[in-house]
Amino acid sequence: MLSLSALAGMLRWLILSFEPSYSVLLMNQLLHGATYALLMAAAVTFVYEMGPDGMKTTGQTLYTVVASNLSSIIGSNVGGWIMDQQGFSVLFQLASVLSLLGALGFFLMARRYKLRSTSSADMKAL
């Protein structure tokens, strides 16, 4: 689910890079609402499932700090610099590429986690 949300985010950033009309921009913002809700639900679930017992709340706190605070500080500073140097289109194209890389990373992580879970279940059966 995380990779699907990141792919939708990639599409959203790519649409923005073409400086769309107002009506397309409005539809794009509706896509943002859906992808953000999907990302948050999937991320909270993923962090909960991956967190060891007794550390699940700490995992949620770390996720919130990184997703809400650290990413905003870095993103606004680096994004502002890119926007000043190259313009909005390049900024949104780069965001699209980063979302695609995030989708690939989420896909590989989910695949690895599923393989590890399957291997653990097989070992317990033995």
Across the chain, mean pLDDT equals 84
| 126 pLDDT above the threshold of 70 | no
Give 110's contacts (C-beta < 8 A, 6+ positions apart). Answer: 2, 3
pLDDT tens by residue, 55-93: 999 999 998 888 888 888 988 899 999 999 999 999 999
Rounded Cα gap, residues 33 and 12, in angstroms: 11
pLDDT tens by residue, 93-110: 998 998 889 888 888 887
DSSP class of 51: S
> Which long-range CB contacts under 8 A does 72-80 form with residues at least 24 apart?
none
| 26 pLDDT above the threshold of 50 | yes
Rounded Cα gap, residues 126 and 124, in angstroms: 5
Percent of the chain clearing pLDDT 90 (strictly above): 33
pTM of the model: 0.74
Q: Residue 28: helix, strand or coil by DSSP?
A: helix
Confidence of residue 42 (pLDDT cuts 50, 70, 90): confident
Write down the pLDDT at residue 89.
Answer: 93
Name the more confident of 125 and 100. 100
